[in-house]
Structure 1
Amino acid sequence: MTLLPHLPQLLHEAAVRHGVPGAVIAVGAGDELAEAATGVLNRRTGVEATTDSVFQVGSVTKLWTASLVMQLVGDGLVDLDAPVRRYLPEFGVIDAAATEAVTVRHLLSHTGGFDGDLFEDTGRGDDALIRLVAFIRANATQVHRPGELFSYCNAGYCVLGALVAALRGGTWESVVTERLIGPLGATHTALFAEEAMLFRAAVGHVPDPDGGPQRVVARWQMPRSNAPAGSTLCAAPRELVRLGRMFLADGVAEGGTRVLPAGTFAAMRAPQVAPPRLGERPPIGWGLGFMLFDWDGVPVVGHDGSTPGQTTCFRIVPDRGVVVAVTVNGDAAGAFLDDVLTAVFAEVAGIRVPQRPRPPAEPVPFVPDGYAGSFSGPLVTYEVAVAGGGLDITLIPKGFAAEQGEKPTTVRYVPLGGDRFVSAEPVDGVHPVLAFLDNGRYLYNTRAVPRVAG
């Protein structure tokens, strides 16, 4: 029996329903592979999406970088609990004590505690990454003590990429090509624009400010300096399935090459930290690179990724031999993914994907004291005001986000209980959830954004 024979129809109908320009999915179950594509890669050109099209996979790249670090651990070149500066003396943050205390494990598990969204463009040269490390040293503020709290940190993975490059004697790109892309036998990947143009490459689409159809993003690729965190890697979904099957085979690629030491996948999905809970759908824990989920009582691991106008979802069900990779090049990706993943996981893995939180049917009482104020990080300031039985939160883009043309927006959030709030209206097709931690010291939305006023 053919695996998921209705997959093309499922993908197409979901894309039409949610106005997605184009999408591709690959599903591996045992030795079988099902693929489907729908829509176009670029609304300007009308080029059709195909199953071998490459999309920007965003932060799914972090699993590639984490794998490179785990190779170093396997070779006896890195101790996860040693300070990062032992291997990369150039590393540092503004806080001198944190500079000496941050370990490799902290960076892999997003518990380093410093500003994570430092998207400084340091050029296209081979020194782009080490120049970003210097920028981090002079600009990264310590938000909390190392190891104290989970707070998603792109900058930490850039540091890990620089560590890998330094210990292997190359660039991050050369090391990922030599030690992952090549041994995996991956043929449809790209790290630079000049490589991506050799394939059918997707471009991102974002909402039109005048309410028209989604428009092509102004800038196709993010800075090379953030490559190890997810700014440049492109891949066809089938290549992510290839990566997932290597993990399921305990580090051995489909061609028989050992890519990771035996036991590495188990180590990478061992819980390192429990993020604050925002609902049943988000991760219940974080490993050494992997998001950890409990969906319908079944362990699921993976990672999500996004670049301007593109989104990737990558999941592995270790106990059932299933790998799923979906890539989308448009807005409302969350609602689209909900439809697709719910159907696919039910059929190939027998799993009910938890529903995302929604506004409660009846208002949840809350005491408004202590919420209002300003919370600020490198990419956004949140102005929080109490209003209408909930909170009005205004997002003011900064830095790289402002440069990308993002505009201030105000969203009404209503209480869910326990210092958690959910948007009253959908944002990009879903209802985002945030929380306030440590008596209102942080606004938390996978990042711990510190209070700066109020």
Structure 2
Amino acid sequence: MTFLPRLPQLLDEAAVRHGVPGAAIAVGLGGELAEAATGVVNRGTGVEATTDSVFQIGSVTKLWTAALVMQLVDEGLVDLDAPVRRYLPEFGVIDAAASETVTVRHLLSHTGGFDGDLFEDTGRGDDALDRLVAFIRTNATQVHRPGALFSYCNAGYCVLGALVAALRGGTWESVVRERLIGPLGVTHMALFAEEAVLFRAAVGHLSEPGGPQRVVAHWQMPRSNAPAGATPCAAPRELVRLGRMFLADGVAEDGTRVLSAGAFAAMREPQIAPPLIGERAPVGWGLGFMLFNWDGVPVVGHDGSTPGQTTCMRIVPDWNLVVAVTLNGGAVGAFLDDVLTPVFADTAGIRVPQRPRPPAEPVPFVPDGYPGSFSGPLVTYAVAAADGGLDITTIPKGFAAEEGEKPTTVRYVPLGAHRFVAAEPVDGIHPVLAFIDNGRYLYNTRAVPRVSG
């Protein structure tokens, strides 16, 4: 390791401090690569985590799916502003007008406006994605007009995966292998469980508040949601490999052109500004990429999570820097803060913005207009006025309830501008949410619509 000599120690200490069973990190700076790993991939077996261990990358997968779509754009096979139905006639949602007008750009930028968390298990066959598209037609309600708001949408990326598969004449997985995994020279990545067992594969760990950690019972989410991040696993170095292709303006390490010149720049162009809930949060969203401004420096990337596993990937174009961190449980947010802060300082002199915290002095607010019920496919939020803030009860539904998540109530205190922060830390950080559009939506990366109150 020629740079970041304290990386293994940073990872070890942060994992112990925050109850993380296992983690791995890869940092690419120019042509150099620093890697480290700590802990175990599975507390049930005690198998050691190594730098080539594969962790579930969750929604970081969306960068792979977005790249596949941009390849189609490069070849003139897709127009970003054309309706999705031009390329995938089977696409539709409950709202007939939205079905005709949602564009490829809308899906890439999470502005399609329909329910995003439709984790229907449609089986493990090659038709899983097609069957989910059929499910979306009769189950995806319209949350807002297409293009009007940002609301994180997993289902939209599943539709993009189906579009890619249809135009390429294969499955989403076969296209990823042919168009990205192979050309990039990726070796430590798995798209199915039967591939993951060939590697040192991590499992997720969850715990109830104050309780012991347990291994997640269901290791893999439904194949129907693979293009959004349900199934892929990778070692952090492979995410760095993907990031380096973007930084090289679409060229892989062996000189193979994967994306057209200028495609990465186009993917970083802001498409919409989500509600700003803190300086650490995205200031915009591109074509697949989360857009940040950290310490005055443009940073892009994506986060990912599956039950008990988390991945964070960041790219700093000005510094030719890629950072990928994966872990399998514990106080995720606090762990990432303790690792990313020194890594960004040591490699690029960038100050990672602090997360919001409860204000030292109470912020006056009038509770009128906030209480009520807000509901989406995976969760209902019951909001009640409380002393100096709001009590928000999260009631899991659907896939979340099936995975064993339990209702929880958290006290939120006002930050001003219709934003609220958790009074006590959750997984080592204080989550922030906002009420937008005159209280019509509770926003926490999803615009969750009010259903009563």
- The TM tier, using the shorter chain, reads over 0.9
1:12 corresponds in structure 2 to: 12
Alpha carbons 1:92, 1:137 under 8 Å: kept: yes
1:325 match: 324
Deviation at 1:214, TM superposition (A): 1.2
Residues 167-223 of structure 1, C-alpha deviations (whole Å, 9 max, x = no match): 0000000000000000000000000000000000000000147x4431100100000
Q: What secondary structure is seen at the aligned counterpart in 1 of 2:287?
A: coil
What is the CA–CA distance in structure 2 between the aligned matches of 1:451 and 1:236, rounded to whole Å?
40
Matched, 1:267 2:266: yes
Corresponding residue for residue 70 of structure 1: 70
Q: Name 2:283's counterpart in structure 1.
A: 284
Q: Deviations over 1:280-304 (max 9, x none)?
A: 0010000000000000000000000
**Match for residue 58 of structure 2?**
58
Residues 250-299 of structure 1, C-alpha deviations (whole Å, 9 max, x = no match): 00000111111111000000100000000000100000000000000000
Determine the C-alpha separation between the residues in 1 that align with 2:7 and 2:368. 50
**Structure 1 position 438, deviation (Å):** 1.0
Letter in 2 for 1:188: H
When the two structures are superposed, what TM-score results if normalisation uses the length of structure 1? 0.99
- 1:10-47, Cα deviation, whole Å (9 max, x unpaired): 00000000010000000000110000000000000000
Tell me the distance in 1 between the aligned counterparts of 2:247 and 2:358.
Answer: 38
Task: Answer yes or no: is 1:178 the counterpart of 2:178.
Answer: yes
| 1:151 and 2:129 correspond | no
The 8 Å contact of residues 315 and 323 in structure 1, kept in 2 or not, is answered as yes
> For residue 347 of structure 1, what is the amino acid of its counterpart?
D
Identity %: 87
How far the C-alpha of 1:331 sits from its partner, in A, is: 2.6
- What secondary structure sits across from 1:89 in the alignment? coil
Q: CA deviation at 1:355?
A: 0.2
Partner of 1:442: 441
Q: Could you tell me which amino acid in structure 2 is paired with residue 70 of structure 1?
A: M
Secondary structure of residue in 2 paired with 1:299: strand
**SS in structure 1 at match of 2:399:** helix
Paired AA for residue 106 in structure 2: H
Q: Which residues of 2 match residues 40-119 of structure 1 at below 5 A?
A: 40-119=40-119
Residue identity in the other structure for 1:174: S
1:84 touches 1:91 (CA, 8 Å); kept in 2? yes
- The yes-or-no answer on 1:38 pairing with 2:44 is no
Letter aligned with residue 340 of structure 1: V
Partner SS, residue 294 of structure 1: strand
Per the alignment, residue 382 of structure 2 pairs with 383
Show the counterpart of 2:343. Answer: 344
Q: Tell me which amino acid in the other structure corresponds to 2:147.
A: G
DSSP 3-state at the match of 1:161? helix
Matches within 5 A, 1:204-223: 204-208=204-208, 211-223=210-222
Q: Mind listing any 5+ residue stretches in structure 1 that lack a counterpart? A: none
For residues 433 and 38 of structure 1, what CA distance do their matches in structure 2 show? 30
Q: Residue 180 of structure 1 aligns to a residue in which SS?
A: helix
- Determine the C-alpha separation between the residues in 1 that align with 2:39 and 2:330: 14
Tell me, in whole angstroms, the C-alpha distance in 2 between the residues paired with 1:297 and 1:21. Answer: 34
Supply the AA of the counterpart residue of 1:119. Answer: F
SS in 2 for 1:410: strand
- Tell me the alpha carbon deviations over residues 24-81 of structure 1, each in whole angstroms, 9 at most, x when there is no partner: 0000001100000000000000000000000000000000000000000000000000
Shift of 1:349: 1.1
Secondary structure of the corresponding residue to residue 393 of structure 1:
strand
CA contact (8 A) 1:65 1:161 kept: yes
Distance, in Å, in 1 between the alignment partners of 2:389 and 2:4 is 44
AA at the equivalent of 1:14: A
Structure 2 partner of 1:334 = 333
Q: Which residue of 1 aligns with 2:21?
A: 21
Q: How many residues are paired up?
A: 453
Q: Within 1, Cα distance between the matches of 2:326 and 2:447?
A: 27
Aligned to 1:372: 371
- 1:122-164: CA deviations, max 9, x gaps? 0000000010000000000000000000000000000000000
In 2, Cα distance between equivalents of 1:333 and 1:381 = 23
In the aligned structure 2, how far is the partner of 1:41 from the partner of 1:289? Answer: 29
Match of 1:201?
Answer: 201
The code of the aligned residue for 2:422 comes to: S
Runs of 5+ unmatched residues, structure 2: none
Q: Quick one: distance in 1 between partners of 2:99 and 2:52?
A: 43
Displacement of 1:428 after TM fit?
A: 1.1
The answer on 1:430 being equivalent to 2:429 is yes
Distance 1:139 1:240 in 2: 33
Q: Which residue of 2 aligns with 1:244?
A: 243
Give the aligned CA root-mean-square deviation in angstroms.
0.7
Aligned partners of 1:332 and 1:121: how far apart in 2? 29
Q: Distance in 2 between matches of 1:428 and 1:135?
A: 34
Specify the alignment match of 1:406 in structure 2.
405
Secondary structure of the residue that 1:194 maps to in structure 2? helix
Check the 8 A contact 1:412/1:423 in 2, yes or no. yes
Separation in structure 2 between the aligned mates of residue 223 and residue 14 of structure 1, nearest angstrom: 32
In structure 2, the residue matched to 1:297 is 296
Q: Is the 8 A contact 1:208 1:215 kept in 2?
A: no
Work out whether residues 109 and 287 of structure 1, in 8 Å CA contact, stay in contact via their aligned partners in 2. yes
Q: CA separation in 2, counterparts of 1:255 and 1:3?
A: 24
Structure 2 CA distance for aligned equivalents of residues 27 and 368 of structure 1: 45
Structure 1 segments (4+ residues) deviating >2 Å: none
Equivalent residue for 1:138? 138
